[in-house]
Chain A
Amino acid sequence: MSDTPKTPQTQPRFSATFDPYTLSEIRRAAATGIYDIRGAGAKRKLPHFDDLLFLGASVSRYPLEGYREKCGTDVVLGTRFAKKPIHLKTPVTIAGMSFGALSGPAKEALGRGASAVGTSTTTGDGGMTPEERGQSSILVYQYLPSRYGMNPDDLRKADAIEVVIGQGAKPGGGGMLLGQKISDRVAKMRCLPKGVDQRSACRHPDWTGPDDLEIKIAELREITDWEKPIYVKVGATRPYFDVTLAVKAGADVVVLDGMQGGTAATQEVFIEHVGIPTLAAIRPAVQALQDMGMHRKVQLIVSGGIRNGADVAKALALGADAVAIGTAALVALGDNDPRLESEYQALGTTAGAYDDWHEGKDPAGITTQDPELMKRLDPVKAGRRLANYLAVMTMEAQVIARACGKSHLHNLEPEDLVALTVESAAMAKVPLAGTSWIPGQVQY
């Protein structure tokens, strides 16, 4: 019997660079020859609002009583030029999502939920549906490069117009709606053959550059007799310059969408590698407005990864006037619900990770045009869930604002915040917690 000791083995070691996800993507690409397309926004870990904390009131600040003293949440959008600005009871709005990407009942539910709490919802590529207009007390009409379903009568029916230049998930990219979702109704609204892969343009067909945009905005104002607020939506890349140019072109409101903002269908490589995080985009955008003397005169709506009242409060403290939610609103409706786990597994995924929204097989009946799947979403109940969620977000933001001694959410300011990481301190331009250090700012 040998007593030779066994050589100790090191554990199998996975590469941090070639991690299991990366390896699976290489194998998938090699097998199919096509890039991965999916919905939702950036999923990688990014500096975000979780990296910021509020400094509640103490000896040096005076808090408000949580259940007695008023903390306002209303916001008025479009005060610069529009004859009829929009009045919202909460600064949490619903971002643009198309009928086509979403089912009719899902759009209806968004309208119901938003209307119940006095906020706005937004159309998307493909135009305005009667269900959506009917259920949305305040509806923003997106004016997109593709102009699918663009109708001047709908423009006049809208409460505001959002000129979409880009979105956070794919700044510089056009839309995509694969053939599975081009049903008869979607095809008719978009004037396309049924079942084609619809490619939306990435640039507007009749203007190029900020000088043209100014004329285009003037055209929209003339057509609507200067009644409607005109928003300009940009994906976050160079927010200082984009906001400056949008304001110079005459925007009433700028919508700034960070890379966590969702999409119905885009290449994974685009979603994860183009654009900047929401947290990094807000301060340069606010700085641009301040440098022009337009902060609070041109309103700023921030979107991309807003999940709760803390995110709302942080975005507003950094200078936004309102926020928009998309992915979170879909989750409130019922997207990615664990009760559908067996069906998600049958699609090769799991609840919480389902993002093949472009395939139209959504078991929750939200990102689909399949008549049977659509029936699964009750727009009244789903709308109620969304209304509840929006109310909770608003109350959460109030809790924080009162703790900071603010009688309105808009009174929150960067001085109420500190950062947990050097990166977030630099991006949000607030001090690293426990220090007076803001990376990148010279102390005089």
Chain B
Amino acid sequence: MESLKFDLAATPLREVNQYLHSPASELNGKHVVIHNPNGAHNIAVGLKSDVQVTIDGHAGYYAAGMNQLANVVVTGSAGTGVAENMMSGVVHVKGFASNAAGATAQGGLLIIDGDAGLRCGISLKGADIVVGGSVGSFSAFMAQAGNLVVLGDAGEALGDSLYEARLFVRGEVKSLGADCEEKPMDDEARQILVDLLAKSGHADVSPDSFKLFGSARTLYNFHVDNAGAY
């Protein structure tokens, strides 16, 4: 694989992102390594080709935001909104992720080896997120579709006002949000979990150690008797 290196300590972010927006015919199959990210925001946002990008260090806000097709690895930790609104591809954070990881993501796979902060998977719209550690409060708030797998614990109000996303949690759930309830793990859900564990480097983890949570669907249509739940 052809490899190309950028040093963010010497090259402006604009130049790096502009290169990463080159036509797919120029980028497909290439490996781009970005050194010295030092927490810069908006690294590798808006990618739309089958390129491999390694951010060698810590990234700031919105790393790999709105990703399409690309495979982005952050070797350190990522700030708020990593892979927000991702459409496809894979984003892998080897450290920790801050708040709103994978917010509104519609497709692709976000892997976080460490913990994720508040609101992980907020308004999730179809992507898959696998968190090796724990997730903070209000994770999967209003999540509409997709899957959130948490190998650790979940904070308060997990899945509040959930639509049709599936939430798999291996550890403790501090509390469930409004309209989120535990569901029986059917064969379809179990297979989704098995596949996601395999894709995210956790093939050795038993799917039987997870609980599944989903929407109770009582808030789908407003009724005054449910006013206290809002």
Residues of A within 8 A of B (CB): 32-34, 146-147, 150-153, 155, 178-179, 190-193, 195-197, 199, 201, 205-207, 212, 215-216, 218-219, 222-226
Contact = CB atoms under 8 A, between A and B. Distances in A.
A35 B100 CA distance: 32
A201 B142 contact: yes
B123 A205 contact: yes
Given A206-B103, A215-B41, A152 B85 contact: yes
Nearest first, the 7 A-B pairs at minimum CB distance are A223-B46, A206-B81, A33-B224, A206-B100, A147-B104, A152-B66, A206-B103
Contacts of A223: 45-46, 65-66
Contacts of A207: 61, 80-81, 100
Contacts of A205: 84, 100, 103-104, 119, 122-123, 141
A197 to B, nearest CB: 5
Interface residues of B, number: 42
Interface in B177-230: 220-222, 224
Contacts of A155: 66
Contact of A222 (B45, B106, B142): B45
B221 A196 contact: yes
Given A152-B66, A196-B220, A222-B17, 17 more contacts: A33-B224, A147-B123, A150-B85, A151-B87, A151-B106, A191-B145, A205-B100, A205-B103, A206-B80, A212-B61, A215-B41, A215-B42, A219-B41, A222-B13, A222-B42, A223-B66, A224-B46
Interface string B67-107: 01000000000001100110100000000000110011010
B161 interface: yes
Contacts of B13: 222
B100 A219 contact: no
Interface in B1-59: 13-14, 17-18, 21, 41-42, 45-46, 48
A196 B223 CA distance: 12
Given A205-B123, A206-B122, A219-B65, A152 B144 contact: no
B87 A216 contact: no
A150 B46 CA distance: 13
B163 A179 contact: no
B221 A197 contact: yes
Contacts of B164: 193
A412 B230 CA distance: 48
Main secondary structure of the interface of B (DSSP, over half): loop
Main secondary structure of the interface of A (DSSP, over half): loop
B163 A222 contact: no
Contacts of B145: 191
Contact of A218 (B21, B42, B68, B125): B42
B123 A201 contact: yes
Given A33-B224, A197-B220, A197-B222, A225 B125 contact: no
5 contacts: A153-B48, A216-B62, A219-B45, A219-B65, A225-B18
B126 interface: yes
Q: Which has the most chain A C-beta neighbours within 10 Å: B18, B65, B119?
A: B65
Contacts of B221: 179, 195-197
Contact of A193 (B18, B66, B220): B220
A395 to B, nearest CB: 42
A284 B100 CA distance: 34
A215 B220 CA distance: 34
Nearest to A148: B125
A418 to B, nearest CB: 48
Nearest to A37: B222
Given A191-B126, A191-B144, A193-B164, A147 B61 contact: no
A192 B65 contact: no
Nearest to B81: A206
A218 B100 CA distance: 18
Contacts of A33: 224
Nearest to B99: A206
A195 B100 CA distance: 28
